Amino acid sequence: MKTMAPWLEASLKKSGKDFFDGMDTGTYGMGGSIPFLAELDKMYPNSFIMALGLIGPKANAHAVNECINLSYAKKLTKALSHLIAEVAAKEE
- Taking the C-alpha atoms of residue 89 and residue 85, their distance in angstroms, rounded to an integer, is 6
| pLDDT confidence tier of residue 78, bands split at 50, 70 and 90 | very high
For residue 6, count other CB atoms closer than 10 A to its CB.
8
Question: Could you tell me which residue, 91 or 73, shows the higher pLDDT?
Answer: 73
| pLDDT confidence tier of residue 77, bands split at 50, 70 and 90 | very high
User: Is 1 a member of any domain?
Assistant: no
SS3 43: helix
Q: For the chain, how many structural domains are there in total?
A: 1
Q: What is the mean pLDDT of the chain?
A: 82
User: Is 63 a member of any domain?
Assistant: yes
Q: Range of 59's domain?
A: 6-91
pTM: 0.74
Q: How do residues 22-63 score in pLDDT, each as one tens digit?
A: 888 776 666 666 788 888 889 998 887 777 777 777 788 778
- Taking the C-alpha atoms of residue 22 and residue 13, their distance in angstroms, rounded to an integer, is 10
